[in-house]
Amino acid sequence: MTNEKHCLLAYRCQLAGGSACNNHCPHFIALHGMNAKGGRVGLAGVPSDYRLVTLTNSPVRASQPKIYEMLDKYAATFGRQFDENGDRIKSVYMWSNSPGTGKTTTAVALLNDWLVAHYLGSLKRGRQPLQMPAYFLDVNEWQTLYNEFNRSHVPEDIAERASREYYRQLQAAKQAPFAVLDDIGVRQATEGFRGDLHAIINYRVTNGLPTVYTSNLPIEDMVRIFDERLYDRMRDMCVQLHFEGESKRGKRRG
């Protein structure tokens, strides 16, 4: 039984579809774990519905051809992650006026392509691939964790678990070499939560770490949500992509 349809490396692997393509393949295990739910993909926090999505097979490619043409060129720069003196890899800000236009799907496709580029590039250079070279942060779910441990009358053990997970995700999103911050257009948030999100973005920008942002707001609105200084830093070395069209959320989340 081959594992071709369940591995991110399938479209880059000469063994795909053959007898050696199975759950015991060390490269499959390195990326997906023993059951396609762990490994580096699992550690990256990639939602289960998106764990095999790449720019090549993304269902959004057909509806956003111009954007994907640009992103193919962008992904070709991922090899620069190994060049300490190379040009900085840009960030990407994806937005649309309505939800469901494919932003999240596309953002995860980029993250998965980064994972593959990092894994194969590390092996090619005789390096040990990082355990968490990329991270996906669902800002809405992260805010839910924040609210959970800051509400009154929450049992102490529940609040403690929520707090521990919240700060784990904060550090992962801060320090991963590549990150997706999904749906950063928080409209109602406490100063504490907004400050933590500000800290993540500021750290990544300061350290030149490529970040993919998705939002239902244009980047100019980040002045209101954060401040002018952070807005100026976000848009520096950042490609802005507007996803047009109506919501396709009934077909696929995005």
184 in any annotated domain: yes
Contacts of 170 (CB under 8 A, 6+ apart): 142, 196, 199, 200
11 in any annotated domain: yes
Contacts of 143 (CB under 8 A, 6+ apart): 186, 189, 193
Same domain, 10 and 126: no
Same domain, 140 and 237: yes
Same domain, 4 and 109: no
Same domain, 148 and 29: no
Query: Whole-angstrom Cα distance, residue 224 to residue 218?
Result: 11
**CATH number of the domain within which 164 lies:** 3.40.50.300
Is the overall model pTM greater than 0.75, yes or no?
A: yes
236 in any annotated domain: yes
153 in any annotated domain: yes
252 in any annotated domain: no
Same domain, 31 and 52: no
* 3 state DSSP class of 82: helix
Same domain, 17 and 83: no
Same domain, 22 and 114: no
Same domain, 102 and 25: no
Domain count, the chain: 2
Same domain, 119 and 192: yes
200 in any annotated domain: yes
Same domain, 9 and 79: no
Query: Whole-angstrom Cα distance, residue 250 to residue 23?
Result: 32
Same domain, 89 and 133: yes
80 in any annotated domain: yes
Tokens (6 digits) for 251: 């077909």
81 in any annotated domain: yes
Same domain, 104 and 120: yes
Q: What is the pLDDT along the chain (254 residues), one digit of tens a residue?
A: 345 467 888 887 766 667 777 777 888 889 988 765 689 999 999 988 898 999 999 999 999 999 999 999 999 999 999 998 889 999 999 999 888 889 999 999 999 999 999 999 999 999 999 999 999 999 999 999 999 988 778 888 888 999 999 999 999 999 999 999 999 976 677 888 888 998 999 999 999 999 999 999 999 988 888 788 888 888 888 999 999 876 555 444 45
Segments forming the whole domain that contains residue 136:
45-242
